[in-house]
Structure 1
Amino acid sequence: MPIAEVNAPIDAPRGLAGVIVTETRLGDVRGAEGFYHYRQYSAVELAAARSFEDVWYLMFHGQLPSTAQLATFRDETAALRALPAAVRDALPALARAGALSGLRTALSLLGATAGFRPLYDIDAGRRRVDALAACAAVPTLITALHRLGQGLQPVEPRADLGHAANYLYMLTGEEPEPDRVRAIEAYLISTIDHGFNASTFTARVIASTGADLVACLVGAVGALSGPLHGGAPSRALDMLDAIGTPDRIDSWIRDSVLRGDRIMGFGHSVYRTEDPRSRMLRGVAEQFGGPLVDFAVQVEARVEALLAELKPGRELHTNVELYAGVVMELCGLPREMFTPTFCAARVVGWSANILEQAEDSKIIRPAARYVGPPPPQPLPTAEPR
């Protein structure tokens, strides 16, 4: 093919919606069907039936582990949870910014302390070691930063607890109830990966440059911190608080829609059906029961009916944020930890994508259409100085 054809610009929709930018073996989101998967398995079925470590292994190795492989993997990852002294000593200063903001700097420090090298310069085995170390350390960093921000001492990780149980233990300092562990584990599994979302794509763009794995993760955390990406679960609960009682649902939602406000927890850029993560987490919430769950279900039903009336022709259903917030609230997580908890799971998906991207040496380098004043313009004479 002639070079002119290869380099010819291609128009793409805003936000690259629907544009295929690469191939992946990690999974897909089929929005028209309301289905998404990790490798060859339904992500929702994995969340319902498997442990977090099972799915972590699947994302890194392409298959579910045997009993022996899982035991080895659990031991391997649990041994990586503790933080280097240089990182621990820096956390009190970083905690003032909050868990998610502090995580960006803490991850950079972890990479420098551990000597993470550019992906371009290391082999697949070393990349996997780095990825495991980063994924295991992120929950420890997040919980330590949160506790320090609350004036509490960090809780050291326990190797005898599974990933989800250890996360809750480090957050609260108490061994969690089994039903809470299973609920949070289901949530964590359901958010490990979700197609080429903004943070995953950011991680892969950085990986395509050959940068080190932590550099890729720091970029992904930055993308996740935006309220249009990872910051919505707490905002969805804030909406429930603002509505307050069932008799206020209709008026509150109508007023919000007419003002042009976004209804947090509803609508998705990919799904045109009910978000399967929402369906699964609603079931998890209903196992707990109680006033919050009942109210969330009422709000969901009325919001979907009102959106169908006020925005006809658009498919606007609950997304993962509404019931993710409900489940985390029921399990005792503070709202400022909702997005960091999302990050504690998504770091596995980011890392799997980084490892996959590192297999391809082609840098991601799209183009932009210039729309400023036509060049070249005459250069004005410089004023005397």
Structure 2
Amino acid sequence: MISGLDDVIAAETALSDVDGIAGRLVIRGQPLGQIAGRLSYEDVVSLLLSDLVPDLSQGAALGAARMDVFTRIAPVMDQLARLDLYDGMRAGIAFMPDGVKVDDLLRLIAAPAVLTPLMIRLQAGQAPVAPDVALGHAADCLAMLGREDEGGALARALDTYLVAVCDHGLNASTFAARVVASTRAGLTSSILAGLGALKGPLHGGAPGPVIAMLDAIAADGDARAWLKREVAQGGRLMGFGHRIYRTRDPRADALKAAVRQLGCSAKSAERLAFAEQVEQTALAVLRAEKPGRVLETNVEFYTALLLEAVGFPPDAFTCVFAMGRVSGWVAHALEQQATGRLIRPQSRYVGPVYAQAR
């Protein structure tokens, strides 16, 4: 038996290809480096859904979907605000119709970008901000958050992030979404399955702890000593190592470039310089302390810095990840349903066997 289904081919897909040896990610035939920072999230949604939804329009349709989500959620906003941020976002999506039409999928792709800033503001005692259908997806999310973005630099950085995490092979949440889709359940059911898998700290919960790690190192004052202690005590250095990649995660470079281009305050520049020093020190410590393992920088490290600079609190980071990945979940669900095949693997029984009474 192969533990964790490593190297087992469970689906054929035209959506993304993850080459862990070469450190390459391809989205619909295009290397990540050629689309992150160049295409908008709306463009990548259209790219992912091409062939699956031939009549899909972009931009304005997604803006209208954001307004639709906001209107549908309005009667239950107060109840959602009583939940923690991720659970409130997930519960809000559960109110969306469980269909498979174009309006249904656009609504689901729009929903995390509406619910995340809405929940943040409500829990801070602030009034929600309605979507602006004339804005791009990333820019509107920041506007709903109440973040000023003169010149659009923050929106461009968030756009780069959403594109970078839109799809990544058959990861845990995508597989969960495909399993549910294979039963011919609606798209909302599939997305909720993906959100359930994403909540676990082994999948989507690591970017927030990167901020906690950086803050702890800054307070200690000695990065090398802190990192060595953490490794010696069996702790995990957040933002390093990946189940698939045996070299540097290509998404880390795309996000690092986006953070550098933000051109924010001197405080933000100082934060980035400090993080880069921690990154290099951590890589050196890991090579020395764990010579038999390949533990390079992954997507979580610069995700944390980018989302912090853009204005999201750490407890919202997994919600923002879902904001980008939801388009991939939708595309995988549609691709799986097109096969017409129910996913039904076998299990091997290893429990006790009792003799049959005579």
Q: Give the structure-2-normalised TM-score.
A: 0.93
Matched letter for residue 234 of structure 1? G
Name the counterpart of 1:98: 84
Contact residue 223 and residue 278 of structure 2 kept, 8 A: yes
Q: Which of 158, 166, 170 is equivalent to 1:196?
A: 170
CA distance in 2, matches of 1:302, 1:224: 29
Q: Which of 51, 62, 65 is equivalent to 1:80?
A: 65
Name the counterpart of 1:272: 246
Q: Does 1:349 align with 2:328?
A: yes
CA distance in 2, matches of 1:267, 1:173: 32
Of stretches 240-249 and 44-53 in structure 1, the one that deviates more from structure 2 is: 240-249
Name the counterpart of 2:340: 361
Q: Which of 207, 213, 228 is equivalent to 2:202?
A: 228
Name the counterpart of 2:126: 152
**CA RMSD for the aligned pairs?**
2.1
CA distance in 1, matches of 2:206, 2:33: 20
CA distance in 1, matches of 2:305, 2:108: 28
Name the counterpart of 2:257: 283
Contact residue 38 and residue 193 of structure 1 kept, 8 A: yes
Residue 170 and residue 260 in structure 1: after superposition, are their counterparts in 2 closer, same or farther (change >3 A)? same
- Matched position secondary structure for 1:73: coil
Matched letter for residue 42 of structure 1? P
Q: Which runs of 5+ in 2 are unaligned?
A: none
Contact residue 246 and residue 298 of structure 1 kept, 8 A: no
Q: Does 1:50 align with 2:42?
A: no
- Matched position secondary structure for 2:26: strand
Name the counterpart of 2:279: 300
- Matched position secondary structure for 1:36: strand
Contact residue 112 and residue 319 of structure 2 kept, 8 A: no
Pairwise CA distance, 1:250: 1.2
Name the counterpart of 1:60: 49
Q: Does 1:23 align with 2:38?
A: no
Contact residue 220 and residue 226 of structure 2 kept, 8 A: no
Q: Which runs of 5+ in 1 are unaligned?
A: 1-10, 120-125, 380-385
CA distance in 2, matches of 1:142, 1:176: 22
CA distance in 2, matches of 1:299, 1:360: 46
Residue 304 and residue 20 in structure 1: after superposition, are their counterparts in 2 closer, same or farther (change >3 A)? same
Name the counterpart of 1:327: 306
Contact residue 169 and residue 176 of structure 1 kept, 8 A: no
Q: How many pairs align? A: 351
Name the counterpart of 2:106: 132
Q: Which of 203, 217, 231 is equivalent to 1:257?
A: 231
Pairwise CA distance, 1:279: 1.3
Of stretches 155-164 and 364-373 in structure 1, the one that deviates more from structure 2 is: 364-373
- Matched position secondary structure for 2:315: helix
Pairwise CA distance, 1:174: 4.2
Moved over 3 A (4+): 173-177, 375-379
Name the counterpart of 1:108: 94
Matched letter for residue 300 of structure 2? E
CA distance in 2, matches of 1:15, 1:364: 16
Pairwise CA distance, 1:177: 4.4
Residue 176 and residue 135 in structure 1: after superposition, are their counterparts in 2 closer, same or farther (change >3 A)? farther
CA distance in 1, matches of 2:60, 2:30: 25
Q: Give the structure-1-normalised TM-score.
A: 0.86
Pairwise CA distance, 1:137: 2.6
CA distance in 2, matches of 1:328, 1:104: 20
- Matched position secondary structure for 2:222: helix
Pairwise CA distance, 1:292: 0.8
Of stretches 99-108 and 343-352 in structure 1, the one that deviates more from structure 2 is: 99-108
Pairwise CA distance, 1:146: 2.0
Pairwise CA distance, 1:247: 4.7
- Matched position secondary structure for 2:17: strand
Contact residue 27 and residue 195 of structure 1 kept, 8 A: yes
The C-alpha deviation readout for 1:244-275, integer Å capped at 9, x for no partner, is: 16851111111111111111100000000111
Contact residue 28 and residue 38 of structure 1 kept, 8 A: yes
CA distance in 1, matches of 2:350, 2:282: 40
Pairwise CA distance, 1:375: 3.2
The C-alpha deviation readout for 1:134-181, integer Å capped at 9, x for no partner, is: 112331122212211221111100011101100111112645541111
CA distance in 1, matches of 2:242, 2:16: 18
Identity of aligned residues (%): 40
Residue 132 and residue 261 in structure 1: after superposition, are their counterparts in 2 closer, same or farther (change >3 A)? same
Pairwise CA distance, 1:225: 1.0
Residue 16 and residue 158 in structure 1: after superposition, are their counterparts in 2 closer, same or farther (change >3 A)? same
CA distance in 2, matches of 1:262, 1:177: 38
CA distance in 2, matches of 1:376, 1:183: 64
Residue 375 and residue 98 in structure 1: after superposition, are their counterparts in 2 closer, same or farther (change >3 A)? same
